[in-house]
Amino acid sequence: MNTNNTSNNLQLIADTAKDFAEKNIRPNIMTWDESQTFPVELFHQLGEMGFMGIVIPEKYGGSGLGYQEYVTILDEISQVDPSIGLSVAAHNSLCTNHIYEFGNEEQRNRWLPKLASGQIIGAWGLTEHNTGSDSGGMSTTAVKDGDEWIINGAKNFITHAISGDVAVVMTRTGEKGTRNNSTAFVLEKGMPGFSSGKKENKLGMRASETAELIFDNVRVPDSHRLGEVGEGFKQAMKILDGGRISIAALSLGIARGAYKAALKYSKERHQFGKAINEFQAVNFMLADMATEIDAAELLIRRAADMKDRKEKMTKEGAMAKLYASEACVRIANNAVQIFGGYGYTKDFPVEKFYRDAKLCTIGEGTSEIQRLVIGREISK
């Protein structure tokens, strides 16, 4: 009975997300992509739908849903436009979730209702110009000065760096290279010295804004510190565990979107007197795509289930992210191949899925880092 209720709820949520995406996102996909427009108003609408605080409890203005529902929403949105899915993921799983997981009650009540409702947009800053995977070696510093901290440095490749209203930022408060050298703070746009830098001109995910965050003697009250001094890096790693489910779900949406487009086209496109999906070479590609999508979803659903149960899922999250992201690149590549020359044009959707897919093997921990995480976990 519970299983049926869960399935029915997930289907209802999937239908709601799909309808929203078809109505509000699909008509604008290529306009936003080609102009690199980040559609801020759309995210206010997503907030009204309850999609900007999906796993945040209702008492803080969130939807109070679990990670299974979260995966479903991201999957449906990303089948239509992965760049919007990416921004929904970053807002939910990184900024908003970090404040929920590690903020005190005052901090939760201050920022979560506005974030969860989409009134304000969140950013999350860990990566720097010279520290990608080596996030423990960050250069951005926070120095205590009375009841305030003075933050200096910059963050790179930050989603919503320009349009975001608040940002959770990891800073170095100890020696480089140690695991207890980092502290997290919530910064608000408008703080003197806190600004945005260059917007990146990207291969894909172009409607999801990516830019620098710059800190020039930014004075931040100690009341904006999340958790204890020195715990920022540990917090970030726990947040990335859940963030891997996000990127895996985003990858699933890309894979499914590309597969559906390729399957439909293969039935409509005729060569040598028959539909091209009747040729074994094409049919086998579609078979592999369908199998990889199911395998990816099973890995993701397992990780989401463990996350909902509050079980440690570092290995399972990394496996889901690794497999789903690499599968979505393969599937998008094959989708372009099935479309042939048309797949290389912007008149058909697979060209964009192909460009968007690659980020999934890089963002929130590269495939190589996922293998490192998995290898470390299985060797314990």
Residue 1 has pLDDT above 50, yes or no: no
**Is the model's pLDDT at 147 over the cut of 90?**
yes
Quick one: average pLDDT of 167-186?
88
**Residue 374 contacts by C-beta under 8 Å, 6 or more apart in sequence?**
315, 318, 319, 322
The sign one gets for the Cα dihedral 157, 160, 165, 170 is negative
Summarised one tens digit per residue, pLDDT across range 224-270 is 999 999 999 999 999 999 899 999 999 999 999 999 999 999 999 99
**Residue found by looking up tokens 């998008």 in the block:** 332
For residue range 18-58, list pLDDT tens digits in order: 999 999 999 999 999 999 999 999 999 999 999 999 999 99
311 burial via Cβ count (<10 Å: 0-12, 13-18, 19+) = exposed
User: Which residue's structure tokens are 């102009």?
Assistant: 35
CA torsion angle 299 21 204 258 (round to 10): 60
- The percent of residues above 70 in pLDDT, for the chain, comes to 98
Q: What is the pLDDT of residue 145?
A: 97
Q: Range with the lowest mean pLDDT among 169-178, 207-216, 317-326, 334-343?
A: 169-178
Is the per-residue pLDDT at 163 higher than 70? yes
Three-class secondary structure of residue 182 per DSSP? strand
Whether residue 134 is predicted with pLDDT greater than 90 in this model: the reply is no
Average pLDDT in the 319-329 region?
A: 98
pLDDT tier at 12, thresholds 50, 70, 90 = very high
Q: Are 93 and 243 in contact (CB under 8 A)?
A: yes
Mean pLDDT value of segment 265-293: 98
| Closest C-alpha among 365, 330, 329, 335 to residue 349 | 335
Beta-strand relationship, 148-159 and 166-172:
unpaired
Q: Rounded to the nearest 5°, which phi and psi values hold at 245?
A: -65, -40
| Cβ count within 10 A of residue 314 | 18
Predicted confidence (pLDDT) at residue 132 exceeds the cutoff of 80: no
| Phi, then psi, of 195 in degrees rounded to 5 | -145, 175
What are the distances in angstroms from CA 364 to CA 112, 293, 312? 22, 21, 18
Q: Which residues are catalytic?
A: 364
In angstroms, the CA 157 to CA 110 distance is 27
Taking the model in full, what pTM does it have? 0.96
pLDDT digits (tens, 9 = 90+) for 67-118: 999 999 999 999 999 999 999 999 999 999 999 999 999 999 999 999 999 9
Query: Does the structure show a pLDDT above 70 at 278?
Result: yes
The residues, any chain, with a CB within 8 Å of residue 117's CB and separated by 6 or more, are 47, 48, 52, 53, 61
Interval 27-38: pLDDT, tens: 999 999 999 999
- Mean pLDDT for the chain? 96
Contacts of residue 323, Cβ cutoff 8 Å, sequence gap at least 6: 248, 295, 296, 299
Average pLDDT over residues 287-300: 98
Alpha carbon distance 8, 86 (integer Å): 26
Structure token pair of residue 74: 């991201």
Pairing of strands 122-125, 194-199: unpaired
Of 98, 97, 86, the C-alpha closest to 38 is 86
The pLDDT-based confidence of 4 (bands split at 50, 70, 90) is: low
Token output for 261: 């487009």
Residue 178 has what pLDDT? Answer: 66
Please say if the pLDDT value at position 7 is more than 90: no
Helical residues (DSSP H) of 179-231, grouped into ranges:
none
